[in-house]
Structure 1
Amino acid sequence: MTALTGPVPAHLPARLTITLWDFSWYTRAEPGGPFDDLDAVCAEAAALGYNAIRICAAPLLLHGGLEHDGRPLADAARELEIEGLGGSEGWGRYGQRTRWYDAPGGYTVDVGARLLELFEAAERHGLVVVLASWEYQQSPAFARSAAWFEAIHAVPMHQRYALLAGAWSRMIDQLTAAGHRSRIALVELHNEVDFSLLPPLGEGGAEALCGLRREHPDLLITASYGKPPHLAMHQLPEGLGAAQFHVYSYGVLDALQRLVDIRSEGSSDFPNAALQGFLRPDAPTPAEYGRAAEWKYRATVVTDQMIYGYDWLDPDAWDTWLYDNYGAYREVMLREIESRVVAIAEWARWKQVPAVVGEGWIGYTPLHGSFEEGPVGRALAEHGIETALSHGAWGLVLCSNAAPHHPMWRDREWQRRLNTRILTY
């Protein structure tokens, strides 16, 4: 067995197998929703072989010390009204057939109390928690009110990392006082700092990160990248306490997205002729469908074209194109996953820190598209997992879609088999 790339605190599992719950553990907590009953869903995760969950813990909302219109933001967190992206009259809700953005809303949640409830359930079922923040990337977009979004975005860019570090320190103190410090597997200053409304990590982030590590030297603390510089890992700033990086190989998916121009914004010919060939017969025009509130697009990284396109395309037609064209991309995608995983692991070994692949493997697909959940996607995931294990990775996600709020959660046999492979490697 290959040794881990770096040491791990003795009280943590020898390997982590992670299910990605992101912000959905509070934005999909509607009655009957995938996270309605936290104890039940933690029990289910443990039964599938997972020992770790990765979440947005909303540190700025809960412990940022910010105000909006003279009211502490933390007060709003006690009765946070979840809306999702809102509704289109006569056409359903925006994001209804997307991943992550399909939140129906219609309820309020005490985020702080729910966080403690999650840790208590995790303890009962032998799970540890990877703490991250998606707040400068997505989380506030799901609230009915813009207060959370406006409060954190009023903070000047150069102060945002320091704000995050202070909020995390206070949250860690609170979790410690509640008896949950040993349940913290990893703290990420922020998710995907390279794809969020933050400066480059080297512009104040590394300093804030190192300060947080000095305050809590017994914890693993880092920041994650959505696309680390795989060909030039030396460009990463000093101070990362773990190599928690994401490995996506879009390949054939990227080719299709470019063909239909679905990730752009403001295209004059949207939907273009190619995308029209993928739309459902009952699809409204973009003008008929309308758009979510403008601030919600500024609060997230997903465009209105992607929301419309994923909501109204035919997933079977989408998957068929991917399968028909995958052959030309297969070797490139396999090599890309392998080379990126190896680069991450070797950098981690050089820095003597644990390596974690917290997201992967293909990319952002429609909710009911099954290409990544099918034989091709599973084979790519298994290739990435085997490569990571053989190079000493400590933590792995099976697939970003292997979580309660995605259809892949129903593939129980595959999850159990891969989790067993990771934990017994």
Structure 2
Amino acid sequence: MSRFERVRARLRRAYESGREAVRAGRAEAPAVAEDRGVASPVSPGPVAAPSATVVGAQSPASMHNSTASRDDADVPHALRIAAAWSWRLIVIGVVTWALLKIVGTISIVIIPLAVALLLSALLAPAVGWLLRARFPRSLATAVVLVGGLAAVVGTLTLVVNEFIQGVPELSEKSSQGVRQIQNWLKTGPLHLSDSQLDRYIDEGQAWVNGNTEKFTSGALSTATTLAEVLTGAILVLFATFFFLRDGSNIWRFLVRLLPVAARWKVDDAGRASWATLGAYVRATVLVAFIDAVGIGVFLVIFDVPFAFPLAALVFLGAFIPIVGATLSGGVAVLVALVDSGPVTALIILGVVIGVQQVEGHLLQPLIMGRAVAIHPLAVIIGIAAGVVLAGITGALVAVPLIAVLNTAVRRLAARTVPDTPPDAVVVASQAP
């Protein structure tokens, strides 16, 4: 017998002797407990009679199930609940503040990735069509991305050219409009004198001069440099390309990083959120196009200058729900006021209000549907928070982010178990 086998035999004998000792101790425990009058798991029950009195024993403290000591039991229940909520809210607030600081620090990366996700959700159906037409995935992605980029560049070129051509005429009519307003202030119901007009103009100019530095510093703090813009644009293009081509693989990789028990739930919530984001982006593009066409047609009918740039502005503004199209429509009203007078401006104002009513009461519920329905108060708060945190980009991203989080939280909070994927292999373990 080798030395290893002798050591193994000794360990085996020690293990067997230990087990025999444990069995003997368990067999003797009930008998010893009965002889000593002590309650045991086999013979539970009070040692003394119910009427017996134990000298020197204290009455047990009356404690709630949620308390761990007498001190906690003396604290009112409502105060304990408030304290428990308070420290949990403090922890959540600290974590949220830390996340916001991190996002603010790497915003040059976060913002392009968010824009790339929105573009990917918008262009994903086109890539799917080309894939069904037997295009290679990389080629389909490149064709869609280049086509979308060409459409954006062409539209911006037309807008800029038309705006440059019409600026001199609009400047001349703006001066005429300002003189008309001054005459109306003199001869109208206000009856302002020249000295009052001059004083108000001087006060307005002094206010602008006094706040120029504030406006300039705020613009410089929120606007990025040319290098950052170019870096962000390149990152958007590359991220959009890889999201469109390898989005499913990237998502599966991220899901595999989670615990096994949480993978299916998170995968179900993520896919539902992606469907919500795609529905939101496509519906927003359609609604924005209808708004731009509706307002642009009336601008052409009433011969308002910059009809196409103003329609493009309305289209871009419609991506900020509720307030975006209204503000961009207000610019069209001001141009109509300067160029064609108050009557045309009032008509354009009525058109803008009518289009907004149709959008809010017909297009949004019909096109968006219940899948991405968000309460208007949540939309307003989200837009305000986005503007404060990230400016115009934050306003664009806030509402789709709220829609995605709404869907994800609902799916994660649901008690239903996601369906088993058709390609899943379930391995059943044998009972021990």
Q: Which has the higher strand share?
A: 1
Q: Which has the higher contact order (CA 8 A, sep 6+)?
A: 1
TM-score, normalised via structure 1 length = 0.20
Q: Which has the larger radius of gyration?
A: 2
